[in-house]
Chains A and B, each alone.
Chain A
């Protein structure tokens, strides 16, 4: 049986810097995979490659066993891939509902829709419902530009948006970095719920406790390569840190 998402030998160079040196990565439907590694290991770059934002210089990406070229974020989206980027990728002047629908705006039916007239009330309603079902308080802030929100609230907007749309793979690049204790717990619960509906969730985090708690598997990047894979059950923090820093070499996947 082939995996939902399988990347092999991904290379990405930025001028003289090689961010990814033939990185491998895989994820199955319904599992939570933690992607860990030191600062600069290439995690965000790998996520950008797998979300179609950055084109890899070398390597292959397979979805359900078929080699694909994502080409653009639209291409990735067509495969049901959604991403919370480390920089969140929000439009700060727009509100949370508007941000949730950027690039996939709903238009009115009929002739008005043909002219591209937006169905704002429908988008607001759907976004508010989604925000509420995800246990956030964003629906009370629907008219606030994202720029005036706290870091945690912004992160919630980006997370809710991607969860609304992810059908196959959800990448979360350090989604809880700015969140308080309650909101972090909430996001980790959400991660499990999204995985339970069959989505592969890829979580990037520097919090090893969190990683072991929520992930089924852990993949470790070091210097642009995958250096280890673990089952979360039966792994401890020392092993993870050892693999990240290169002190140990783990391979029990």
Chain B
């Protein structure tokens, strides 16, 4: 047997596989798949659906209500995709709900100022929302990587700042200058699902593929797993983190625009617990708060849990605030479980 030669590991390894039989490669056993978060959480989701359906068979298990749930989940999912990247890289972004509001406000203001009701205006509104979101995201990223302010504090700061700025722009009143074209976009779509939902699905698919299949995604895992190892392997860690926070802001901006399409107004006061739902969904989906692990597929399932809970609570006439209470405790429990898993693994 020979050693693979230096930087020519490529050809040497190829030579080798010609002479030696390919080594036995063990695949992930089924048992492990069944204990992963996404699968467990699908079971939990199913359980929730059964319970709510049993209590209100007339109202919960209907097509219209299912449409409602996915519609509620759509904007959260868009933000949760960005959050998945950030949490896999061992970061956190608390500012997404406020950035959504700020981007929505800017977008609605600009569309109102243009005044016409056509796709041109709506696309300008989209561009404004994306730019506003990206700007906050890049600010977060720069403060975290250049000023070395911890992500928790930076994004807690922008959580307050972005919402404050939105209120300054609007003097605290919701902006209702949303063109009808955009509202109609939110109403219908193929297969009985709103275009809002389709946009969220597209974001999840692209985000999931990039994370799982590309170098960009791989570097995200490496950074969350051991940033110093990434640095020593030549990854520009700061640059990558900046991109991730920028991406999170951009997606929050998109969510702001989708939310305009959904509610026809800016709903400034309606997003204070979005970040709670988003982080809970991401953690339930199996992404580790400590970085290095997670999938967008898991996030898709995870985000449906707080959404289904809040929808179910309303339908069974529990005060909707209970959803926030429940989600809060679920988040704590989920992180507790994550921590136990990690400790068990690291002891090995």
Q: Which of A's residues lie within 8 Å of B, judged by CB?
A: 51, 53, 72-74, 77, 80, 83, 85, 89-94, 98, 102-105, 107, 115-118, 124-126, 128-135, 139-143, 145, 147-149, 163-167, 190, 193-194, 197, 199
Contacts and interface: CB of A to CB of B under 8 A. Distances in A.
Contact of B293 (A93, A165, A194): A93
Given A140-B24, A140-B26, A164-B4, A73 B225 contact: no
B3 A94 contact: no
B26 A91 contact: no
B212 to A, nearest CB: 9
Nearest to B7: A167
Contacts of A93: 221, 224-225, 288, 291-293
Given A91-B229, A92-B226, A139-B25, A105 B16 contact: no
A73 B236 CA distance: 11
Contacts of B348: 147-149
Nearest to A168: B6
A94 B222 contact: yes
Contact of B221 (A51, A73, A94): A94
Contact of A132 (B23, B218, B234): B23
Nearest to B32: A143
A132 B292 contact: no
Nearest to A83: B232
Most buried by A among B6, B14, B25, B28: B6
Interface residues of B, number: 46
Given A124-B25, A165-B7, 15 more contacts: A51-B232, A89-B228, A91-B221, A91-B222, A91-B230, A91-B292, A93-B293, A94-B222, A94-B292, A116-B215, A125-B22, A130-B9, A142-B26, A165-B6, A197-B6
Contact of A118 (B6, B23, B218): B218
Interface of B: 1-7, 9-10, 13-14, 16-17, 20, 22-28, 213-216, 218, 221-222, 224-226, 228-235, 288, 291-293, 345-346, 348
A53 B214 contact: no
B13 A126 contact: yes
Contacts of A73: 231-234
A134 B2 CA distance: 8
Contact of A91 (B2, B23, B28, B226): B226
Nearest to A100: B9
Contacts of A53: 231-232
A90 B3 contact: no
A126 B3 contact: no
A197 B234 contact: no
A148 B345 CA distance: 6
Contacts of A105: 215, 218
B20 A129 contact: yes
A107 B229 contact: no
Given A118-B218, A148-B348, A143 B231 contact: no
Given A90-B226, A125-B17, A134 B292 contact: no
A130 B13 contact: yes
A149 to B, nearest CB: 8
A106 B335 CA distance: 34
B22 A128 contact: yes
